[in-house]
Amino acid sequence: MAALIWILAAVGLAVAELFTTSFFLIMFALGAVAAAAAAALDAPVSVQAIIFVIVSLIATLGVRPVLRRNFGRDAGEPTPVAEIAGSEAIVLERVDDRAGMIKIDGEYWQARALESGQVIEPGERVHVVELKGVTAMVWRV
C-alpha cells in the first residue's frame, strides 16, 4: 500500500512539473519513485522517507543543473523584459484590441493586438512590438 502512495505522489509531482517546466518538482518525483521501490521491498516508513529525501536532494543538486544547462535558458528563470519586445510568440487565446493570451518562451502573457480591429486566432505566430505594463502589444507575423 505504501508503494502505491509513493507512486501516486510521483505521478502527481510529474504532472505538476508539466505546468512549471523548472525541473524542480520532477526531482521530488524521482525521490518518490525511489521511496516506492523501498516500500515494495518492505522497508520501514522511516527508511522510505530518508530515501525520498536523499534521492530528491541528490537529483536536485546533481541532475537538475545539468538538465537546465543542456536545455537552454534556465527554465525556472523568467524571460528578461528587455528580451520580450521584439520576440515572437504563439497565440493561445484569441487576441484582439481588447484581450488575448500568448506564450513567449514558455511564459504566458496577456496580449492585445496593436492595430484596432485586428483579430489573431489561437495557433498563429505574433511579433511582440512593445510592452505596456504586463500586456504585450502584438502584430501578426
Domains present along the chain, CATH in parentheses: 2-70 (no CATH), 81-140 (2.40.50.140)
Say which range, 2-6, 39-43, 104-108, has the weakest mean pLDDT: 104-108
* Residue 93, helix vs strand vs coil: strand
> Could you tell me which residues are beta bridge partners of residue 95?
120
Closest CA to 103 of 119, 84, 75: 84
Which one has a higher pLDDT value, 73 or 6? 6
pLDDT attached to residue 75: 47
State the cell numbers at 44. Answer: 520501514
